[in-house]
Chain A
Amino acid sequence: MLEIEDLWVSIDGKEVLKGINLVIPQGETHILFGKNGSGKSTLLMAIMGFSRYQVRQGRIRFLGRDITQLPTFERARLGLGLSFQRPPTIRGVKTGDILAACAGGKVSYQALAAAYDFTGFLDREVNYGFSGGEIKRSELLQLLAQDPKMVLLDEPESGVDLENLQVVGEIIGRLLQKDRRHQRRDKSGLIITHTGFIMDYINADTGYILLNGRILCSGNPRDILQDIKKFGYEECIKCRR
Chain B
Amino acid sequence: MSEVKERAEKSRDKKAAFGTDLELTDFSREGGKWEYDADYGRFAPEERRHLLRAGIELTDVEHAGTFLQADTAVVHCQANQPGVEVLPITEALKRHDWVADHLWRLVAVDADKYTARTELELDNGYFIRALPGVRIEQPVESCLYLRTDRFAQHVHNLVVVEPGAKLHIITGCTAHPRVNSGLHVGVSEFYVRAGGQLTFTMIHNWAEDIHVRPRTGVRVEEGGQFISNYILLRPVKTVQMYPTVTLTGPGAVASLNSIVIAHPGSEIDVGGRVILQAPHTRAEIVARTITTGGASISRGHLVGLEPDIKAHLECRGLILAPTGHIYAVPELEGRVAGVDMSHEAAVGRIAAEEIEYLMARGLDEEEAVSTIVRGFLRVKIEGLPPALEEEIEQAIRETGKGM
User: A: which residues have CB within 8 A of B?
Assistant: 48, 50-52, 71-73, 75-77, 81-82, 84, 87-88, 90-94, 97-98, 101-102, 104, 125, 142, 146
Q: A101 to B371, Cβ gap below 8 A?
A: yes
The 9 A-B residue pairs whose C-beta atoms are closest, nearest first, are A92-B375, A93-B375, A72-B359, A76-B362, A73-B359, A88-B353, A73-B364, A92-B378, A92-B376
B30 at interface, CB cutoff 8 A: no
Taking the nearest CB of chain B, how far is it from the CB of A153, in angstroms?
13
B91 at interface, CB cutoff 8 A: no
Q: A142 to B361, Cβ gap below 8 A?
A: yes
B358 at interface, CB cutoff 8 A: yes
Q: What residues of B have a CB within 8 angstroms of the CB of A93 in the complex? A: 371-372, 374-375
**Given B352, B367, B372, which contacts A90 in the complex, CB threshold below 8 Å?**
B372
Q: What residues of A have a CB within 8 angstroms of the CB of B361 in the complex? A: 76, 98, 101-102, 142, 146
Q: A51 to B354, Cβ gap below 8 A?
A: no
B90-131 vs A, CB cutoff 8 Å, 1 = contact: the mask equals 000000000000000000000000000000000000000000
Q: B377 to A48, Cβ gap below 8 A?
A: no
B9 at interface, CB cutoff 8 A: no
Q: B362 to A91, Cβ gap below 8 A?
A: no
Cα A112 to Cα B190 with chains together (Å): 49
Size class of the B contact interface (CB-based, 8 Å): 20 to 34
Instruction: Name which residue of chain B comes closest to A80, CB basis.
Output: B360
Given known contacts A76-B359, A93-B374, A101-B363, what 10 new A-B pairs fall within 8 Å (CB)? A71-B364, A72-B356, A81-B360, A84-B360, A88-B357, A92-B372, A92-B376, A101-B361, A101-B367, A101-B371
Contact of A71 with B359 at beta-carbon distance under 8 Å, contacts A51-B352, A88-B354 already known:
yes
Question: Which of B361, B371, B377 is the most central at the interface, judged by chain A CB atoms within 10 Å of its CB?
Answer: B361
Cα A96 to Cα B372 with chains together (Å): 14
Cα A101 to Cα B353 with chains together (Å): 18
Question: Which of A90, A94, A142, A146 is the most central at the interface, judged by chain B CB atoms within 10 Å of its CB?
Answer: A90
Q: A90 to B363, Cβ gap below 8 A?
A: no
Question: Which of B358, B360, B372, B375 is the most central at the interface, judged by chain A CB atoms within 10 Å of its CB?
Answer: B360
B365 at interface, CB cutoff 8 A: yes
Cα A97 to Cα B364 with chains together (Å): 15
**Given A50, A77, A102, A104, which contacts B356 in the complex, CB threshold below 8 Å?**
A50
Taking the nearest CB of chain A, how far is it from the CB of B369, in angstroms?
11
B44 at interface, CB cutoff 8 A: no
Question: Which of B316, B375, B378 is the most central at the interface, judged by chain A CB atoms within 10 Å of its CB?
Answer: B375
Cα A97 to Cα B374 with chains together (Å): 11
**Given A76, A91, A104, which contacts B375 in the complex, CB threshold below 8 Å?**
A91
For chain B residues 343-390, which have a beta carbon within 8 Å of chain A?
Answer: 351-354, 356-365, 367-368, 371-372, 374-378
Q: What residues of A have a CB within 8 angstroms of the CB of B374 in the complex? A: 92-93
Taking the nearest CB of chain A, how far is it from the CB of B176, in angstroms?
35
Cα A92 to Cα B290 with chains together (Å): 14
Contact of A90 with B375 at beta-carbon distance under 8 Å, contacts A51-B352, A73-B365 already known:
yes
Q: What residues of A have a CB within 8 angstroms of the CB of B368 in the complex? A: 73
Cα A92 to Cα B359 with chains together (Å): 17
Q: What residues of B have a CB within 8 angstroms of the CB of A71 in the complex? A: 359, 364-365
Taking the nearest CB of chain B, how far is it from the CB of A49, in angstroms?
8
Q: A72 to B360, Cβ gap below 8 A?
A: yes
Q: What residues of A have a CB within 8 angstroms of the CB of B359 in the complex? A: 71-73, 76
Q: What residues of B have a CB within 8 angstroms of the CB of A81 in the complex? A: 360
Instruction: Name which residue of chain B comes closest to A148, CB basis.
Output: B362
Q: What residues of A have a CB within 8 angstroms of the CB of B357 in the complex? A: 84, 87-88, 90
Instruction: Name which residue of chain A comes closest to B357, CB basis.
Output: A88
B57-83 vs A, CB cutoff 8 Å, 1 = contact: the mask equals 000000000000000000000000000
Cα A125 to Cα B375 with chains together (Å): 9
Q: What residues of B have a CB within 8 angstroms of the CB of A75 in the complex? A: 360
Instruction: Name which residue of chain A comes closest to B351, CB basis.
Output: A88
Q: What residues of B have a CB within 8 angstroms of the CB of A102 in the complex? A: 361-362
Cα A73 to Cα B359 with chains together (Å): 5
Taking the nearest CB of chain B, how far is it from the CB of A154, in angstroms?
12
Instruction: Name which residue of chain B comes closest to A104, CB basis.
Output: B362
For chain B residues 31-90, which have a beta carbon within 8 Å of chain A?
Answer: none
Q: What residues of A have a CB within 8 angstroms of the CB of B367 in the complex? A: 101
Q: What residues of B have a CB within 8 angstroms of the CB of A76 in the complex? A: 359-362
Taking the nearest CB of chain B, how far is it from the CB of A62, in angstroms?
14
Q: What residues of A have a CB within 8 angstroms of the CB of B376 in the complex? A: 91-92
Q: What residues of B have a CB within 8 angstroms of the CB of A101 in the complex? A: 358, 361-363, 367, 371
Q: A51 to B356, Cβ gap below 8 A?
A: yes
Q: B364 to A90, Cβ gap below 8 A?
A: no
28 contacts between A and B (CB under 8 A): A50-B356, A50-B360, A51-B352, A51-B356, A72-B356, A73-B359, A73-B365, A75-B360, A76-B361, A77-B362, A84-B357, A84-B360, A87-B357, A88-B351, A90-B358, A90-B375, A91-B376, A92-B378, A93-B371, A93-B372, A93-B374, A93-B375, A97-B371, A101-B361, A101-B362, A102-B362, A142-B361, A146-B362
Taking the nearest CB of chain A, how far is it from the CB of B312, in angstroms?
16
Q: What residues of B have a CB within 8 angstroms of the CB of A142 in the complex? A: 361
Q: What residues of A have a CB within 8 angstroms of the CB of B363 in the complex? A: 73, 101
Q: B371 to A82, Cβ gap below 8 A?
A: no
Cα A7 to Cα B232 with chains together (Å): 49
Cα A97 to Cα B360 with chains together (Å): 14
Q: What residues of A have a CB within 8 angstroms of the CB of B316 in the complex? A: 91
Taking the nearest CB of chain B, how far is it from the CB of A149, in angstroms?
13
Q: What residues of A have a CB within 8 angstroms of the CB of B365 in the complex? A: 71, 73
Q: B362 to A94, Cβ gap below 8 A?
A: no
Q: A90 to B360, Cβ gap below 8 A?
A: no
